[in-house]
Chain A
Amino acid sequence: MNSRALYLLPLLTLLIMAGFFGWSLMSGRDPASIGSVMVNRPAPPLNAPALRPGEPALTGDLLKTGKPVLLNFFASWCTPCLAEHPLMMRLREREGVTIIGIAWKNKPEEARAWLKKLGDPFAYAGTDFDGKLSLDWGLSGVPETYLIDANGVVRLHYHSPITERDLNETILPLLRAGK
């Protein structure tokens, strides 16, 4: 190789790195995202005691009604849950979506008080005080939201509070397509 050409190597390295960083910024790649192995797999078991007194315990049958449902894990101590709560209310009241809520590592009376104060978006509500149910769902914390299709297959798994954008661009189109 011509020794002059060697001097271009640092520049080439810089160009490759700049290209990679530029692509990272533009493509919307999220390096903090850990992905989910749940997506496109049949839903894990959903056996949980009811959160609201007098209601029957939750079972996996709730995911096989022939209609898509949202499954939302929350806790009264969780601030991001508070942030996404209005969107959950909107989904239930304006869009008529069936949402199943599970209180994660949360005392049932505290979760109930939280729902009473803010409004209760859940058609069914369960409690997972020791976190055992959530482990089967690959849950890393709260809030997390899953979309389960009419056949009981997980289609979406959000590791973060859902946003207006998630709702309008991903969740609602999928729900409408599933109906």
Chain B
Amino acid sequence: MRKRSLAALGMTVAALLIAMPALAVEPSEMLKDPALEARARTLSRELRCVVCQNQSIDDSAAEVAHGMRVAVRERLVAGDSDAAVMAYMVARYGDYVLLEPPFKARTLVLWLGTPLVLVVAGLLLFFAARRRPVVPAAPPPLSDAEKERLQSLLKR
């Protein structure tokens, strides 16, 4: 019985090891130079797979993502800087290929819209709070009729 449970444990561990997170990057694509490969992986995580809406080419198994990963590595091997590799991709696929949109006139609303709403809302809140007195004004004293009614209620 004990042997059996040990075997089961072994099988479980083996299954977990085999089921490591699947990588989209295929072994045949990887560079031998670990430093270059690390740079390629970093760049790949910032490049959008153009047929997958919101997945980086590092995560995607699409045909075009494969081609783009290979191209990134080729540019790096050819001696391109990281910025040159990104420019190479933007020249072919446009800004859409960048997962982080660049800061330019067309994207001003995207970058500044939310902070602007926060600042405006904060200012409105600030002035609204200042206009309202912190201690509420004392209620007007009771009229004679009210005093009488109060007395009659308390006596009951």
- Whether A and B are associated in the same complex: the answer reads yes
Q: Contacts A140-B50, A140-B51, A141-B51 hold; do A34 and B64 have CB atoms under 8 A apart? A: no
A35 lies within 8 A of B94 (CB): yes
Q: Is the interface of B mostly helix, strand, loop or mixed?
A: helix
Instruction: Judge if B91 is at the interface, Cβ distance under 8 Å.
Output: yes
B67 lies within 8 A of A131 (CB): yes
Instruction: Judge if A135 is at the interface, Cβ distance under 8 Å.
Output: yes
Which residues of the partner chain B approach A164 to less than 8 Å between Cβ atoms?
none
Considering the complex, give the chain A residue whose CB is closest to the CB of B49.
Answer: A140
Q: Using an 8 Å CB-CB cutoff, how does the interface string of B64-107 with A read, 1 for contact, 0 for none? A: 10111011000000000000000000111110100000000000
- Nearest-neighbour CB distance to chain A for B52, whole angstroms, equals 10
B92 lies within 8 A of A140 (CB): no
Chain B: residues with Cβ within 8 Å of the partner, total of 17
Instruction: Judge if A177 is at the interface, Cβ distance under 8 Å.
Output: no
Q: Using an 8 Å CB-CB cutoff, how does the interface string of A132-168 with B read, 1 for contact, 0 for none? A: 1011111111000000000000000000000000000
Chain A: residues with Cβ within 8 Å of the partner, total of 17
Q: Is the interface of A mostly helix, strand, loop or mixed?
A: loop
Which residues of the partner chain B approach A36 to less than 8 Å between Cβ atoms?
94
Instruction: Judge if B63 is at the interface, Cβ distance under 8 Å.
Output: yes
A138 lies within 8 A of B51 (CB): no
CA distance A130 to B67 in the complex (A): 8
A34 lies within 8 A of B71 (CB): no
User: Which residues of A, 88-134, contact B by the 8 Å Cβ criterion?
Assistant: 105, 130-132, 134
Q: Contacts A132-B71, A141-B51 hold; do A37 and B64 have CB atoms under 8 A apart? A: no
CA distance A105 to B63 in the complex (A): 8
Q: Using an 8 Å CB-CB cutoff, how does the interface string of A29-43 with B read, 1 for contact, 0 for none? A: 000101111000000
B94 lies within 8 A of A139 (CB): no
B67 lies within 8 A of A136 (CB): no
Q: Using an 8 Å CB-CB cutoff, how does the interface string of B54-69 with A read, 1 for contact, 0 for none? A: 0000000011101110
A141 lies within 8 A of B68 (CB): no
B92 lies within 8 A of A34 (CB): no
CB < 8 Å: which of A32, A35, A132, A139 contacts B64? A139
Considering the complex, give the chain A residue whose CB is closest to the CB of B65.
Answer: A140
User: Which residues of A, 51-110, contact B by the 8 Å Cβ criterion?
Assistant: 105
B50 lies within 8 A of A132 (CB): no
CA distance A132 to B63 in the complex (A): 12
CA distance A134 to B93 in the complex (A): 11
A131 lies within 8 A of B94 (CB): no
Which residues of the partner chain A approach B71 to less than 8 Å between Cβ atoms?
132, 135
- Offer 22 A-B interface pairs, CB within 8 angstroms, sorted by A: A34-B96, A35-B94, A36-B94, A37-B90, A37-B91, A37-B93, A37-B94, A131-B63, A131-B64, A131-B66, A131-B67, A134-B67, A135-B68, A135-B71, A136-B92, A137-B92, A138-B92, A138-B94, A139-B64, A140-B50, A140-B93, A141-B62
Interface residues of A (CB under 8 A from B): 32, 34-37, 105, 130-132, 134-141
